[in-house]
Amino acid sequence: MPKQERDDTKGIKNKKAGDFPEWYAEIVQKAGLADYAPIAGCMVIKPYGYAIWENIKKWFDSRIKETGHRNAYFPLFIPESFLKKEAEHFSGFTPEVAFIDKKEETEAGEDRYALRPTSETIIYDSYSKWIRSWRDLPLLLNQWCNIVRWETKATKLFLRTREFLWQEGHTVHRTEKEADREVMYILNLYKELAETLLAIPVITGKKTENEKFAGALYTTSIEALMPDGKALQMGTSHNLGQNFSKPFNIKFKDRDEKEKYAWQTSWGFSTRLIGAIAMVHGDDRGLVLPPRIAPIQIVIIPIIFEKNKSRVLAEGEKIRKELEGDFSVEFDRRDEYSPGWKFNEWEMLGVPLRIEIGPADIKKKQAVLVRRDTGEKKTIKRNQLKKEAEKMLEAVQKNLFRKAKKFLTDSTVSAKTFEEFKEAIENKKMVKANWCGDSGCEESIKEETAATIRVIPFRGEKAKGKCVHCAAKAKHVVYFARQY
């Protein structure tokens, strides 16, 4: 049987610098991250995409467990009457809520069941039963689950779909200060996840009143800039204050024997992170995965000629065994494809490091390493393989972050005037500018430019002078961008 040579129908047709949305949709599907589902606006997360999610989950799950957080599972269904208990929360979410065809007959009439768009209300109903005393606090729970938001805007694989997966943490504390600390502890974990695992640099800060989570006292966020100049919210951590504990009656008897309303936080990130990885690091040949979350970190490709076949396969297998304890390794011993075909395929999948091994390499006691991010080839001594592979993977991880960081820095500009501001937004920049602090002014800027305030940075610059839009006295220096 002749070997399958390079198959051009399999390559990536769109260019990242060309039609970015088409390029994105193409690499996500061709690399096997996700597929469109037969339900409009929904997706199928394919095994390769799901394996990235599992790696993200594993890291985050073990980190929060170290600090006493535990997982639980609350119902998919939320009585509509619960959603209505916190007015701001209700109006923030109802446009996107789907209901089922079953309902409860109550004294007050019918109560429909919503599919959770987020679980504050159903969880806090349980909390009100479980919490009695300061001894029950802090209560630190998290759940990994599916979420339904019946989007009416155009959907996009991973970034906006009617169903997605996420984690949502819901904690209860004795004091406001404790809740503040929890919010920042989680936000810093999110930043660490984004930067050290996903190699995506983020800006952190508080959301404005307009942009905060419906029902929160305040919202903090990590924000990344995508290659098309749009910001992506990668995770949010909210201090809910007593906004939910009051309507849901979450009270505890404190050490001083007084009954008090509890302080709460909630926080989450979703499978959209997988989309961010594809957008930020991908190139015209496909995905480029950061080694720390790559399902396959190293692929070994045997360069086979008929007469040396068994020897090369034996050597490849030996290498696989050497590496598999320390790395996630795949040895592509398929006979029906040529090495060139395999190179293309594994490059499309974004595997960070390729090892080529052929008869000449065996003879010279060497191996060839090829980096996915730069394409750099390096011939190394066979007995240095593990060390060199480890070094190169670290270099890939660092380089991806450095490149993304440079892009973020280069794409962030300051604007003094509204003319400069508009031009920068049109040029797909993240814009640092003075803002007066007024929600109406923020709303006008959004209407005129489609840009919103991504965050008011923590420990940001002191505002001097006037608001970039209304010329009132500036209160904050903030980051603006268009967003996903």
Measure the CA–CA gap between 183 and 237, rounded to whole angstroms: 6
Strand order in the sheet with 298-302: 329-331, 298-302, 353-357, 366-371, 377-381
Measure the CA–CA gap between 59 and 73, rounded to whole angstroms: 19
Alpha carbon separation from 342 to 302, 372, 374, 429 (Å, rounded): 10, 13, 18, 38
Of 69 and 482, the one with the shorter C-beta distance to its own copies is: 69
Gyration radius (Cα) of the chain, Å: 26
Least separation in angstroms between residue 213's CB and its own copies is 23
Of 104 and 394, the one with the shorter C-beta distance to its own copies is: 104
Least separation in angstroms between residue 126's CB and its own copies is 5
Of 57 and 181, the one with the shorter C-beta distance to its own copies is: 57
CB-count exposure of residue 390 (10 Å: 0-12, 13-18, 19+): middle
Contacting residues toward its own copies, per CB under 8 A = 35, 37-40, 42-47, 50-51, 53-54, 70-77, 79, 82, 98-102, 104, 113, 115, 122, 125-126, 129-130, 135, 141, 145-146, 148, 150, 163, 165, 336
Least separation in angstroms between residue 424's CB and its own copies is 39
Measure the CA–CA gap between 253 and 131, rounded to whole angstroms: 9
Residue type, 413: V
Of 126 and 242, the one with the shorter C-beta distance to its own copies is: 126
The H or E element containing residue 395 is helix 385-410
Of 40 and 108, the one with the shorter C-beta distance to its own copies is: 40
Of 45 and 349, the one with the shorter C-beta distance to its own copies is: 45
For residue 441, what are its two tokens?
């002014």
Measure the CA–CA gap between 147 and 161, rounded to whole angstroms: 10
Of 273 and 445, the one with the shorter C-beta distance to its own copies is: 273
For residue 262, what are its two tokens?
């509890």
Measure the CA–CA gap between 475 and 467, rounded to whole angstroms: 8
Least separation in angstroms between residue 97's CB and its own copies is 9
Least separation in angstroms between residue 135's CB and its own copies is 7
Q: SS3 for 66?
A: helix
Least separation in angstroms between residue 44's CB and its own copies is 5
Residue type, 12: I
Q: 232: closest CA among 163, 266, 280?
A: 280
Q: SS3 for 414?
A: strand
Of 77 and 185, the one with the shorter C-beta distance to its own copies is: 77
Least separation in angstroms between residue 150's CB and its own copies is 6
Say how many C-beta atoms besides its own lie within 10 A of residue 307's C-beta.
8
Least separation in angstroms between residue 227's CB and its own copies is 26
Of 255 and 459, the one with the shorter C-beta distance to its own copies is: 255
Region of 214 (left: φ > 0; alpha: ψ -120 to 50; beta: rest) is beta
Residue 58: partners with Cβ closer than 8 Å, 6 or more residues away: none
Region of 199 (left: φ > 0; alpha: ψ -120 to 50; beta: rest) is left
Least separation in angstroms between residue 141's CB and its own copies is 6
Of 151 and 195, the one with the shorter C-beta distance to its own copies is: 151
Q: 86: closest CA among 118, 56, 60, 109?
A: 118
Least separation in angstroms between residue 33's CB and its own copies is 11
